[in-house]
Structure 1
Amino acid sequence: MSIARRALGPLARGRTYTRWVHLVLGGVLFVPYCLAVLVVVTLVTRWGPGTWSAGVLVVVSVATVVLVGATGLLPGVRAQQVQVGRALLGGPMEQVPDPGGGRAGPRERVRSGAALALHFGVGLVVAVATMVVLTDAATLALVAVTGAPADAVAVLTALPVALPQVSGVAARVLGPVAGLVLLVVFVLVVAAVGAGAARVGPLLLGPSVSERLAQVRRRADELTERNRLAAELHDSIGHALSVVALQAGTAARVLEQDPAFARAALEAIAEQARTATGELDHVLGLLRQERSGRAPEPSLTDVEHLVRAARGGGAEVECVVQGPVGDVAPVLSRELYRICQEGLTNALRHGAPGGPVRLWVRVDGSGARVEVANPVGAGAGARRGGHGLEGAAERVRLLGGELEYGARDGWWTLSVRIDGAKG
């Protein structure tokens, strides 16, 4: 029972009939090409339909296939083939990516032409067979009503399941059954041909090696951009939230004893909130592929702002900036600023409470150096696998520098060295 169900399964699948439509459409579209070639042959050779030989028909068929294949070389045809194939053939064709608006190379166009010629050629055979089989099946099904006309008897006689000699009474009984069997067998054959077309389609319409490499490069670029935006959010918004949390906690503790300090902390919180809003607007502008004029990219010249924000929350920060930090190349300056931001954020989060934080920035002829150090606190271990430090290390490596971090002699140190940093 399971074997029969499996064999007859294509009859109940909608994909069988959409693939049938795809094949018949190919045959229908083949006809105008064939008529055009016939007209040209008639005008050139002066041969009429009555004088055509088998050789002439073969030449006409080959010329039609070549003309169809040439159509596949036109721009945009391949994209349409993929879209129609994905909609009607399904199966493996659904995995074929859209070629997009890019310019197809010669090999891709040749493959597209071969796919179109194969589709139209096989489709013509299926379309003609569909007309014949549906006509014969209808004729056989109506035998019981029409009284077994001569053409129905001829059809029954040609079937391998029928006896060589079929009488009118036998035709009335066997006709509808034979018509149903004929239709079922033909649908199963069409299902097999359609499944083959769905498997062959990706071979001819799928991306080439160069296109796959281009897709991989685009995907890598997208992932790189996403990672960069994630790092921007982590460094900027994460730092602002850490400072806000520190300042809010400090203000709550000294609100009654030192109202002036609490008021200054609240003002610093408001300033950090505005800064975070500007940073968020900048990142959202990058997501929209546009630059926001209200949030310029930070640089090493803004390090003092980070220090003031950390001091406003009660942290003891010692900052030393040496050299022409304004001469550092913009990309490097932004990344080094983010390193300082990440180091201060980690010091505020994980460093020993009330412990001093040392920030040292130096720019000279050999490059740029940044170092952030603070006494090891209870949360120092949480920084070993942090995404911020890992992202910072990756960005520094891309810039050709070195980043080191870890605990040593009771201090947690984050240091960066980038050679040739001046723009």
Structure 2
Amino acid sequence: MRGRRRLRALCQDGGMSGLLLPLTRAVTYTRWLHMLVGAFVPFVCALVHPGLVGLSPGERVLIGVVPLPLVLAAAMVPSMRRAEGLQARLMLFPGPHARVRTDEDPGVSAVPSASWSDRARTGAWMVLRMEVGLVVALVSNELLACALSLVGAAFGTPKASTLFLHVSGRGWAYALPAPVPVLVLILFVAGAGALMARAARRLLGPSLKERLAALEQRTEQLLERNHIARELHDSLGHALTLAVMR
């Protein structure tokens, strides 16, 4: 508990808040997981074609292109909008899991698609989630590999290399920059997660028909409350009148 309090206090100090605050928020990691799950389908499809090992740049692009017809076909199923909306509500927006108190409506619908417009927006969201998931998976893999390479070099592992870094030397000094790739990764994930949350509000938000239905329901509730209040007022007024007369 003391360690958490110290970390929170450090996060609240001026310039350090922007760097360390994402590390302390659970929503950063739930958004990270949400984006990584979006890369599951293309990676499964890549096992069939074009593979995952020894790929050319063109074949790497195919990993994000081959699953597109499958994803768009799935988006035509009305219940997919509900499934995506529930996932987005749970994992993209602050709540009890993020230790953030908020009564703000996330603005994401959790009902099946009722029109072709809903299906089109659901398809756009699913494609965006898949492509962003691929990018986040690639960046996560490379930056974590960078950190492990630096740690390995610090402990004497020879010649570790990644797409961004080539380590050929040895020595304890390599351990000093090892946390930097991890911090960069967390900041990248926090930024990407915030953008995905905004995209979810736009693409999975309630349609005009849903807003009208919600407004009608709210109006009926208000009318019912006013009716109950009037009946209660009349009953109390009648009871007070009888009491005064007696």
TM-score by length of 1: 0.47
Task: Output the amino acid matched with 2:134.
Answer: L
Tell me, yes or no, if structure 1 residue 79 matches structure 2 residue 77.
no
8 Å Cα contact 1:140-1:179 kept in structure 2: yes
CA distance in 2, matches of 1:49, 1:8: 34
- Structure 1 distance, partners of 2:183, 2:52, is 36
Give the aligned CA root-mean-square deviation in angstroms.
3.2
Identify the residue that residue 191 of structure 2 maps to in structure 1.
192
Counterpart for residue 129 of structure 2: 119
Of 99, 103, 126, which residue of structure 1 is paired with 2:110? Answer: 99
Corresponding residue for residue 253 of structure 1: none
Identify if the C-alpha distance between structure 1 residues 205 and 176 changes in structure 2 by more than 3 Å, giving closer, same or farther: same
Q: 1:7-406, aligned counterparts within 5 Å? A: 7-35=19-47, 38=49, 58=61, 61-91=64-94, 94-100=105-111, 104-145=114-155, 147-151=156-160, 154=161, 159=165, 168=169, 171-235=170-234, 237-242=235-240, 244-246=242-244, 249=246
Q: Once the 2 structures are TM-superposed, how far is the Cα of residue 243 of structure 1 from its aligned partner?
A: 5.0
The answer to whether the Cα contact below 8 Å between 2:93 and 2:197 also exists between their aligned partners in 1 is yes
The structural deviation recorded for 1:49 is: 9.7
Higher Rg: 1
Q: Which runs of 5+ in 2 are unaligned?
A: 1-12, 95-101
Instruction: Give, in whole Å, the separation in 2 of the partners of 1:123 and 1:199.
Output: 16
- Bigger strand share: 1
Q: State how far apart, in whole Å, the 2-side matches of 1:25 and 1:167 are.
A: 34
Q: Describe the SS at the equivalent of 2:114.
A: coil
> Distance between the aligned counterparts of 2:38 and 2:207, measured in 1?
24
Unaligned runs of 5+ in 1: 43-47, 250-423
CA, structure 1 residues 196+141, in 2 after alignment: closer, same or farther (shift >3 Å)?
same
Report which structure shows greater RCO (CA 8 Å, sep ≥6): 2
TM-score normalised per structure 2: 0.77
Q: What CA distance in whole angstroms lies between the structure 2 residues aligned with 1:94 and 1:29?
A: 30
Q: Give the number of aligned pairs.
A: 225
